[in-house]
Amino acid sequence: MVNQDNDNDPRLVAFENKVAADQRIEPKDWIPDAFRKTVLRQMSQHAHSEVIGMQPEGNWITRAPTLRRKLILLAKIQDEGGHGLYLYSAAETLGTSREEMVKALHEGKAKYASIFNYPALTWADMGAIGWLVDGAAIVNQVSLQRTSYGPYARAMVRICKEESFHQRQGYESIMALAQGSKEQKEMAQDALDRWWWPSLMMFGPHDSDSAHSGRSMHWKLKRESNDVLRQRFVDQTVPQAKFLGLEIPDPDLRWNEGSGRHDFGEIDWDEFQRVIHGDGPCNRQRLSHHVQAHEDGRWVRDAMRAYESKRQARQVA
Protein backbone atom coordinates (compact mmCIF):
# COMPACT_ATOMS: atom_id res chain seq x y z
CA MET A 1 0.00 0.00 0.00
CA VAL A 2 1.62 3.27 -1.12
CA ASN A 3 0.54 6.43 0.66
CA GLN A 4 1.94 9.52 2.30
CA ASP A 5 1.39 8.02 5.70
CA ASN A 6 4.32 6.56 7.58
CA ASP A 7 3.88 2.81 7.80
CA ASN A 8 5.54 2.65 11.20
CA ASP A 9 3.31 5.30 12.74
CA PRO A 10 1.72 3.62 15.78
CA ARG A 11 -1.53 5.46 14.98
CA LEU A 12 -1.56 3.80 11.56
CA VAL A 13 -0.97 0.42 13.15
CA ALA A 14 -3.87 1.03 15.56
CA PHE A 15 -6.07 2.09 12.64
CA GLU A 16 -5.20 -0.97 10.56
CA ASN A 17 -5.84 -3.21 13.56
CA LYS A 18 -9.31 -1.73 14.04
CA VAL A 19 -10.15 -2.33 10.40
CA ALA A 20 -8.76 -5.87 10.51
CA ALA A 21 -10.85 -6.60 13.62
CA ASP A 22 -14.01 -5.42 11.80
CA GLN A 23 -14.35 -2.40 14.06
CA ARG A 24 -16.01 0.70 12.62
CA ILE A 25 -13.89 3.81 12.22
CA GLU A 26 -15.54 6.80 13.94
CA PRO A 27 -15.11 10.55 13.32
CA LYS A 28 -12.78 11.34 16.23
CA ASP A 29 -10.41 8.47 15.39
CA TRP A 30 -7.07 9.20 13.78
CA ILE A 31 -7.20 8.07 10.16
CA PRO A 32 -4.54 8.04 7.45
CA ASP A 33 -4.83 10.73 4.75
CA ALA A 34 -5.35 8.18 2.03
CA PHE A 35 -8.32 6.70 3.91
CA ARG A 36 -9.82 10.14 4.40
CA LYS A 37 -9.48 10.91 0.69
CA THR A 38 -10.93 7.59 -0.37
CA VAL A 39 -13.95 7.64 1.93
CA LEU A 40 -14.61 11.29 1.13
CA ARG A 41 -14.47 10.60 -2.62
CA GLN A 42 -16.90 7.71 -2.26
CA MET A 43 -19.34 9.52 0.04
CA SER A 44 -19.35 12.78 -1.89
CA GLN A 45 -19.91 10.88 -5.14
CA HIS A 46 -22.76 8.99 -3.50
CA ALA A 47 -24.31 12.20 -2.12
CA HIS A 48 -24.03 13.99 -5.47
CA SER A 49 -25.64 10.97 -7.16
CA GLU A 50 -28.68 11.17 -4.91
CA VAL A 51 -29.14 14.87 -5.68
CA ILE A 52 -28.39 14.75 -9.43
CA GLY A 53 -30.62 11.67 -9.57
CA MET A 54 -33.59 13.88 -8.76
CA GLN A 55 -33.37 15.45 -12.23
CA PRO A 56 -34.45 12.64 -14.58
CA GLU A 57 -37.48 11.97 -12.37
CA GLY A 58 -38.24 15.63 -11.71
CA ASN A 59 -38.68 15.87 -15.47
CA TRP A 60 -41.90 13.81 -15.22
CA ILE A 61 -43.67 15.23 -12.14
CA THR A 62 -45.97 17.49 -14.10
CA ARG A 63 -46.75 14.75 -16.62
CA ALA A 64 -47.48 11.84 -14.31
CA PRO A 65 -50.51 9.99 -15.70
CA THR A 66 -52.52 9.99 -12.44
CA LEU A 67 -52.58 11.97 -9.21
CA ARG A 68 -51.50 8.86 -7.30
CA ARG A 69 -48.43 8.38 -9.50
CA LYS A 70 -47.63 12.06 -9.13
CA LEU A 71 -47.76 11.91 -5.32
CA ILE A 72 -45.58 8.79 -5.32
CA LEU A 73 -43.04 10.38 -7.64
CA LEU A 74 -42.91 13.54 -5.51
CA ALA A 75 -42.41 11.48 -2.35
CA LYS A 76 -39.65 9.46 -3.99
CA ILE A 77 -37.79 12.52 -5.25
CA GLN A 78 -38.12 14.09 -1.81
CA ASP A 79 -36.51 10.95 -0.37
CA GLU A 80 -33.60 11.21 -2.81
CA GLY A 81 -32.96 14.78 -1.69
CA GLY A 82 -33.05 13.55 1.91
CA HIS A 83 -30.59 10.78 1.10
CA GLY A 84 -28.24 13.37 -0.34
CA LEU A 85 -28.47 15.29 2.94
CA TYR A 86 -27.76 12.19 5.08
CA LEU A 87 -24.68 11.51 3.00
CA TYR A 88 -23.40 15.09 2.88
CA SER A 89 -23.73 15.29 6.69
CA ALA A 90 -21.91 11.98 7.11
CA ALA A 91 -19.16 13.20 4.76
CA GLU A 92 -18.86 16.46 6.70
CA THR A 93 -17.66 14.45 9.72
CA LEU A 94 -14.39 14.16 7.77
CA GLY A 95 -13.87 17.90 8.10
CA THR A 96 -14.87 18.88 4.56
CA SER A 97 -17.69 21.40 4.28
CA ARG A 98 -20.75 20.90 2.12
CA GLU A 99 -19.84 24.08 0.26
CA GLU A 100 -16.50 22.55 -0.75
CA MET A 101 -18.21 19.38 -1.93
CA VAL A 102 -20.75 21.27 -4.04
CA LYS A 103 -17.96 23.43 -5.47
CA ALA A 104 -15.99 20.31 -6.45
CA LEU A 105 -19.11 18.99 -8.21
CA HIS A 106 -19.61 22.24 -10.11
CA GLU A 107 -15.96 22.32 -11.14
CA GLY A 108 -16.17 18.78 -12.45
CA LYS A 109 -13.70 17.50 -9.83
CA ALA A 110 -16.26 15.34 -8.03
CA LYS A 111 -18.29 12.74 -9.87
CA TYR A 112 -21.78 11.30 -9.56
CA ALA A 113 -23.25 8.04 -10.81
CA SER A 114 -23.02 8.07 -14.60
CA ILE A 115 -26.50 6.54 -14.99
CA PHE A 116 -28.05 9.94 -14.34
CA ASN A 117 -26.48 11.24 -17.54
CA TYR A 118 -29.07 9.27 -19.50
CA PRO A 119 -32.36 11.00 -20.37
CA ALA A 120 -35.79 9.92 -19.08
CA LEU A 121 -37.65 9.91 -22.39
CA THR A 122 -41.04 8.37 -21.57
CA TRP A 123 -43.27 7.76 -18.57
CA ALA A 124 -42.15 4.12 -18.60
CA ASP A 125 -38.69 5.35 -17.62
CA MET A 126 -40.07 6.26 -14.19
CA GLY A 127 -40.94 2.62 -13.65
CA ALA A 128 -37.65 1.40 -15.11
CA ILE A 129 -35.61 3.77 -12.96
CA GLY A 130 -37.32 2.64 -9.75
CA TRP A 131 -37.13 -1.01 -10.66
CA LEU A 132 -33.62 -1.14 -12.19
CA VAL A 133 -31.65 1.90 -11.07
CA ASP A 134 -32.92 1.85 -7.49
CA GLY A 135 -32.76 -1.94 -7.57
CA ALA A 136 -29.07 -1.81 -8.50
CA ALA A 137 -28.46 0.94 -5.93
CA ILE A 138 -30.06 -1.21 -3.22
CA VAL A 139 -27.78 -4.17 -3.99
CA ASN A 140 -24.80 -1.87 -3.55
CA GLN A 141 -26.19 -0.05 -0.51
CA VAL A 142 -27.19 -3.18 1.39
CA SER A 143 -23.56 -4.24 1.13
CA LEU A 144 -22.41 -0.77 2.27
CA GLN A 145 -24.40 -0.99 5.50
CA ARG A 146 -21.32 -2.85 6.73
CA THR A 147 -18.78 -0.33 5.41
CA SER A 148 -15.96 0.46 7.86
CA TYR A 149 -16.65 4.20 8.24
CA GLY A 150 -19.32 4.46 10.96
CA PRO A 151 -21.21 7.57 9.79
CA TYR A 152 -21.38 6.18 6.24
CA ALA A 153 -22.65 2.80 7.44
CA ARG A 154 -25.35 4.43 9.58
CA ALA A 155 -26.47 6.66 6.70
CA MET A 156 -26.74 3.51 4.56
CA VAL A 157 -28.96 1.79 7.11
CA ARG A 158 -31.34 4.76 7.05
CA ILE A 159 -31.28 4.96 3.27
CA CYS A 160 -31.88 1.23 2.72
CA LYS A 161 -34.98 1.39 4.90
CA GLU A 162 -36.44 3.99 2.54
CA GLU A 163 -35.22 2.56 -0.77
CA SER A 164 -37.46 -0.48 -0.71
CA PHE A 165 -40.45 1.78 -1.41
CA HIS A 166 -38.58 3.22 -4.40
CA GLN A 167 -37.99 -0.10 -6.07
CA ARG A 168 -41.46 -1.47 -5.36
CA GLN A 169 -43.26 1.60 -6.69
CA GLY A 170 -41.10 1.39 -9.83
CA TYR A 171 -41.93 -2.25 -10.39
CA GLU A 172 -45.62 -1.67 -9.72
CA SER A 173 -45.58 1.20 -12.20
CA ILE A 174 -43.86 -0.69 -15.01
CA MET A 175 -46.03 -3.74 -14.28
CA ALA A 176 -49.10 -1.62 -14.99
CA LEU A 177 -47.64 -0.82 -18.42
CA ALA A 178 -46.40 -4.35 -19.12
CA GLN A 179 -49.91 -5.67 -18.43
CA GLY A 180 -51.60 -2.83 -20.31
CA SER A 181 -52.25 -2.12 -24.00
CA LYS A 182 -49.86 -3.12 -26.78
CA GLU A 183 -48.47 0.43 -26.89
CA GLN A 184 -47.96 0.49 -23.14
CA LYS A 185 -46.13 -2.81 -23.21
CA GLU A 186 -43.90 -1.57 -26.01
CA MET A 187 -43.13 1.51 -23.97
CA ALA A 188 -42.15 -0.67 -21.00
CA GLN A 189 -39.92 -2.82 -23.23
CA ASP A 190 -38.30 0.27 -24.72
CA ALA A 191 -37.51 1.59 -21.23
CA LEU A 192 -35.96 -1.74 -20.23
CA ASP A 193 -33.93 -1.73 -23.46
CA ARG A 194 -32.48 1.68 -22.68
CA TRP A 195 -31.91 1.30 -18.90
CA TRP A 196 -30.62 -2.27 -18.68
CA TRP A 197 -26.99 -1.75 -19.70
CA PRO A 198 -26.50 1.57 -17.89
CA SER A 199 -27.88 -0.17 -14.76
CA LEU A 200 -25.21 -2.88 -15.05
CA MET A 201 -22.60 -0.14 -15.47
CA MET A 202 -23.63 1.31 -12.10
CA PHE A 203 -21.51 -1.33 -10.39
CA GLY A 204 -18.36 0.07 -11.99
CA PRO A 205 -15.53 -1.55 -13.95
CA HIS A 206 -14.62 -5.23 -13.72
CA ASP A 207 -12.73 -6.03 -10.52
CA SER A 208 -9.58 -6.52 -12.59
CA ASP A 209 -9.86 -2.96 -14.01
CA SER A 210 -11.11 -1.08 -10.97
CA ALA A 211 -8.66 1.63 -9.94
CA HIS A 212 -9.84 2.06 -6.36
CA SER A 213 -11.24 -1.36 -5.54
CA GLY A 214 -8.18 -3.00 -3.99
CA ARG A 215 -7.60 -0.31 -1.43
CA SER A 216 -11.31 0.13 -0.66
CA MET A 217 -11.67 -3.61 -0.11
CA HIS A 218 -8.57 -3.68 2.11
CA TRP A 219 -10.04 -0.95 4.27
CA LYS A 220 -13.45 -2.64 4.16
CA LEU A 221 -15.02 0.51 2.77
CA LYS A 222 -16.26 -1.81 0.05
CA ARG A 223 -17.36 -5.16 1.41
CA GLU A 224 -18.06 -6.93 -1.88
CA SER A 225 -16.54 -6.46 -5.31
CA ASN A 226 -18.14 -4.78 -8.33
CA ASP A 227 -18.53 -8.05 -10.24
CA VAL A 228 -20.03 -9.93 -7.27
CA LEU A 229 -22.64 -7.20 -6.74
CA ARG A 230 -23.41 -6.95 -10.47
CA GLN A 231 -23.96 -10.71 -10.68
CA ARG A 232 -26.33 -10.55 -7.70
CA PHE A 233 -28.33 -7.80 -9.42
CA VAL A 234 -28.60 -9.78 -12.68
CA ASP A 235 -29.67 -12.94 -10.85
CA GLN A 236 -32.41 -11.17 -8.92
CA THR A 237 -33.65 -9.07 -11.86
CA VAL A 238 -33.97 -11.73 -14.58
CA PRO A 239 -37.00 -13.45 -12.98
CA GLN A 240 -38.59 -10.05 -12.34
CA ALA A 241 -38.33 -9.21 -16.06
CA LYS A 242 -39.66 -12.62 -16.98
CA PHE A 243 -42.68 -12.11 -14.75
CA LEU A 244 -43.44 -8.87 -16.60
CA GLY A 245 -43.16 -10.66 -19.94
CA LEU A 246 -40.38 -8.28 -20.95
CA GLU A 247 -37.14 -9.28 -22.61
CA ILE A 248 -33.77 -8.24 -21.27
CA PRO A 249 -31.77 -6.84 -24.22
CA ASP A 250 -28.86 -9.27 -24.00
CA PRO A 251 -28.60 -12.19 -26.46
CA ASP A 252 -25.88 -13.78 -24.29
CA LEU A 253 -28.03 -13.87 -21.17
CA ARG A 254 -28.72 -17.44 -20.07
CA TRP A 255 -29.01 -19.55 -16.96
CA ASN A 256 -25.83 -21.48 -16.21
CA GLU A 257 -26.77 -24.74 -14.55
CA GLY A 258 -23.18 -25.41 -13.52
CA SER A 259 -22.50 -22.15 -11.68
CA GLY A 260 -26.08 -21.67 -10.53
CA ARG A 261 -25.98 -18.14 -11.90
CA HIS A 262 -26.82 -16.25 -15.07
CA ASP A 263 -24.16 -15.74 -17.69
CA PHE A 264 -24.51 -12.39 -19.39
CA GLY A 265 -22.92 -10.39 -22.19
CA GLU A 266 -20.10 -7.88 -22.02
CA ILE A 267 -20.84 -4.29 -21.12
CA ASP A 268 -19.91 -1.63 -23.69
CA TRP A 269 -16.98 -0.25 -21.71
CA ASP A 270 -16.27 2.44 -24.32
CA GLU A 271 -19.69 3.88 -23.67
CA PHE A 272 -19.06 3.60 -19.91
CA GLN A 273 -15.81 5.58 -20.24
CA ARG A 274 -17.40 8.17 -22.54
CA VAL A 275 -20.24 8.87 -20.12
CA ILE A 276 -17.96 8.96 -17.06
CA HIS A 277 -15.68 11.44 -18.80
CA GLY A 278 -18.43 13.88 -19.62
CA ASP A 279 -19.79 12.78 -22.98
CA GLY A 280 -23.01 11.03 -22.05
CA PRO A 281 -26.32 12.27 -23.47
CA CYS A 282 -27.06 14.65 -20.57
CA ASN A 283 -23.81 15.38 -18.66
CA ARG A 284 -23.71 19.10 -19.43
CA GLN A 285 -27.44 19.54 -18.87
CA ARG A 286 -27.35 17.81 -15.45
CA LEU A 287 -24.47 19.88 -14.19
CA SER A 288 -25.65 23.22 -15.54
CA HIS A 289 -29.09 22.58 -14.05
CA HIS A 290 -27.51 21.92 -10.65
CA VAL A 291 -25.37 25.06 -10.89
CA GLN A 292 -28.42 27.11 -11.81
CA ALA A 293 -30.55 25.68 -9.01
CA HIS A 294 -27.74 26.46 -6.58
CA GLU A 295 -27.44 30.02 -7.86
CA ASP A 296 -31.21 30.51 -7.90
CA GLY A 297 -31.31 29.51 -4.23
CA ARG A 298 -28.62 31.95 -3.19
CA TRP A 299 -31.05 34.73 -2.23
CA VAL A 300 -32.82 32.34 0.17
CA ARG A 301 -29.57 31.41 1.91
CA ASP A 302 -28.55 35.09 2.03
CA ALA A 303 -31.93 36.11 3.46
CA MET A 304 -31.75 33.42 6.16
CA ARG A 305 -28.28 34.54 7.19
CA ALA A 306 -29.29 38.21 7.21
CA TYR A 307 -32.34 37.43 9.35
CA GLU A 308 -30.27 35.41 11.80
CA SER A 309 -27.62 38.12 12.24
CA LYS A 310 -30.35 40.74 12.78
CA ARG A 311 -32.00 38.50 15.34
CA GLN A 312 -28.72 38.01 17.18
CA ALA A 313 -27.98 41.74 17.10
CA ARG A 314 -31.41 42.41 18.63
CA GLN A 315 -30.72 39.90 21.43
CA VAL A 316 -27.45 41.60 22.30
CA ALA A 317 -29.04 45.07 22.27
| Pairwise CA distance, residues 222 & 265, whole Å | 25
Which of the ranges 101-109, 120-128, 146-154, 253-261 carries the binding residues for other proteins, by CB under 8 A?
146-154
255 binds other proteins (CB under 8 A): no
58 binds other proteins (CB under 8 A): no
72 binds other proteins (CB under 8 A): yes
197 binds other proteins (CB under 8 A): no
245 binds other proteins (CB under 8 A): no
Q: How far is the CB of 192 from other proteins (least distance, A)?
A: 15
298 binds other proteins (CB under 8 A): no
Nearer to other proteins among residue 15 and residue 272 (C-beta): 15
* 305 touches 147 (CB < 8 A): no
Q: Kindly tell me the sign of the dihedral angle through the C-alpha atoms of 294, 299, 300, 306.
A: positive
In sequence order, the 6+-apart residues with CB closer than 8 A to the CB of 162 are 79, 82, 83
28 binds other proteins (CB under 8 A): yes
Q: How far is the CB of 285 from other proteins (least distance, A)?
A: 29
Query: Running DSSP on this structure, what letter comes out for residue 25?
Result: B
311 binds other proteins (CB under 8 A): no
Which of the ranges 1-9, 56-64, 117-125, 162-170 carries the binding residues for other proteins, by CB under 8 A?
162-170
Q: Kindly tell me the sign of the dihedral angle through the C-alpha atoms of 82, 84, 89, 90.
A: positive
Nearest to 79 by CA among 53, 101, 104: 53
Which of the ranges 42-50, 102-110, 170-178, 286-294 carries the binding residues for other proteins, by CB under 8 A?
170-178
Based on DSSP, count helices (H) and strands (E) in the chain, helices before strands: 14, 2
Which of the ranges 31-39, 200-208, 233-241, 261-269 carries the binding residues for other proteins, by CB under 8 A?
233-241
Nearer to other proteins among residue 184 and residue 240 (C-beta): 240
Q: How far is the CB of 118 from other proteins (least distance, A)?
A: 22
17 binds other proteins (CB under 8 A): no
Q: How far is the CB of 45 from other proteins (least distance, A)?
A: 22
In sequence order, the 6+-apart residues with CB closer than 8 A to the CB of 69 are 126, 173
Burial of 181 (0-12, 13-18, 19+ CB in 10 A): exposed
18 binds other proteins (CB under 8 A): yes
Q: Within 91-130, which residues bind other proteins (CB under 8 A)?
A: none
Please give, one letter per residue, the 3-state secondary structure of 87-148.
HHHHHHCCCCCHHHHHHHHHCCCCCCCHHHHCCCCCCHHHHHHHHHHHHHHHHHHHHHCCCC
Instruction: Tell which one of 13, 71, 228, 303 touches other proteins (CB under 8 A).
Output: 71
Distances (CA, A) of 250 to 171, 205, 263, 266: 20, 18, 10, 9
Q: Contact positions toward other proteins, by CB under 8 A? A: 18, 23-26, 28, 68, 71-72, 75, 79, 135, 150, 153-154, 164-165, 167-169, 171-172, 175, 236, 239-240, 243
